Structure 1
Amino acid sequence: ETPRIPGEETTSTPTGETPRIPKQGGSIAIATPLSRNEVLQLIQEGRLRQNDFPDVLAKYQGSNTKTLDSSFLPGDSEIQPAQLLTSLVIDENGKFQQAVVIEIEPAKLQSEKILYEKIINELFSNENFLPGHNQNGTKPELSELFVKVTVKPINSN
């Protein structure tokens, strides 16, 4: 038992409020990089904007499954299961610059898009990538890696 400091008050939960209990299990994110053909298909469907992509897209070198750290989220935020189409911006040295959530499903989570962007930025901030490059060896200053990210509870299959 922890000794009490003289004068210290014990905290109690005001009536009617539920104490915040950390959720058991948490969530995971599964990242699946898109192939060049999948990217071209999404452009044809109008879901991605036409860009000058390098001949060889950037490649992710880390684990495709990550545990989400929700400790940096506002207290009332909750991570809901979602499917995200995300652009990861990678520099010519293979360093992650930023993530942009292009699409989020289910559509009811559209208002939470910025929250999911924060989560994805946090997930990939210290990860390693091979930068995109052209057949002649040149590397664009920035290139995009398009990734489908599935967010789900750890205990689901």
Structure 2
Amino acid sequence: MPTDLRRPVRTYTIRQLCLEFKCTPRALRFYEDKGLISPARDGLNRVYSHKDRGRLQLILRGKRVGLSLTEIGEILDLYELDDGGATQNAKSLMKFRERIVALEAQRADIDQAIEELRRGCDALERHLAQTRPDLLPRAADYDQMLRERLGDLEHAK
């Protein structure tokens, strides 16, 4: 008497996936238009499978690390190959390493820009100290206000 050990069929509504992954229905429809997910239909309603949910999870992870939708699609399409995921894993590894290199280059560019801005601030402060020292306290207040605003933005995420 064989038993069916497969996972029971579980489906999700667009609302359930949006709540779970903190995304919008528009985003899910967009991914569907791009062919990244393909929900079934029940009348006008989209019905997402366990596979669609998994694909959405990978799409959002890929986006978070900066992969393009085309790159994500290429990786997702390799899931269909019958090689135990080896080709998909190899492609993912290559794309991930490329992103690491690109992000490290961006980090170096950002570090350089910050250094240039700090030197610029130092030069401007020296110049103001000589010509208009009355403006310096306002500059410090402005800097503090910006830091507080940035902190508020970070906490809002």
TM-score, L = length of structure 1: 0.21
* Greater strand share, structure number: 1
Give the greater-gyration-radius structure (CA): 2
TM-score, L = length of structure 2: 0.21
Higher relative contact order (CA 8 A, sep 6+): 1
